[in-house]
Amino acid sequence: DELVEKKGVWVFAAAGNEGNLPTTIVVPAVARRAFAVGAWDPYYDRVAPFSSLGPTVDMRMKPDLVAAGVMVVSCRSQYADFPDEYEVGRYYVALSGTSMATPAAAAVAADFVEYFRYWHGRDPTINEFIQWLEHSARHINAVKDFVTGWGIPLAPRS
């Protein structure tokens, strides 16, 4: 946490695939300065059943966000052997997990940074990003909670 704060880096970490039980957010997603990302199932419009839930064992509200994490198409490693039902053509696979959701959330944050730089001429602080999330994410619940956090981050519009 101290190093992240000192360097001004934003860390996005997979919340974990420990299932829908409380206090199952995994390291490093439990860190205070890490954005813990849970998995959202866009096909059923709900939290994925494997996505870890908060709060943390010291009662902090996690995850911070959720993003699409079910059957996400990604590049296939030539060294990995996947069952046929996961393969999407020769070079791609469709996988599920909070590790599949995390890059999507980080990409929205990167988009926000570019948007903020364009309109304000400087980099946003982490608190400005959090404030933006509070106002612009697709909120699943009225307030940040231990199932979906602030909700699904939506890319900024110009």
59-102 pLDDT per residue, tens: 999 999 999 999 999 999 889 888 889 999 889 999 999 999 99
Q: What is the pTM of this model?
A: 0.93
Residue 72 host element (H or E):
strand 72-75
- Cα dist from 120 to 29, 106, 133, 149, whole Å: 30, 21, 17, 27
Alpha carbons within 13 angstroms on the beta-carbon side of residue 102 total 19
Query: How many CB atoms lie under 10 A from the CB of residue 121?
Result: 7
Task: Give the integer Cα–Cα distance in Å for 120 and 55.
Answer: 34
> What single letter denotes the amino acid at residue 52?
S
Task: Give the integer Cα–Cα distance in Å for 149 and 143.
Answer: 8
Beta-bridge partners for 149: 145
Please say if the pLDDT value at position 158 is more than 70.
Answer: no
Cβ proximity of 65 and 153 under 8 Å:
yes
Residue 99: which of 1, 4, 18 has the closest Cα?
18
Task: Give the integer Cα–Cα distance in Å for 103 and 108.
Answer: 9
36-45 pLDDT per residue, tens: 999 999 999 9
Set out the domains of the chain in order of their start, with CATH numbers: 2-70+99-136 (3.40.50.200)
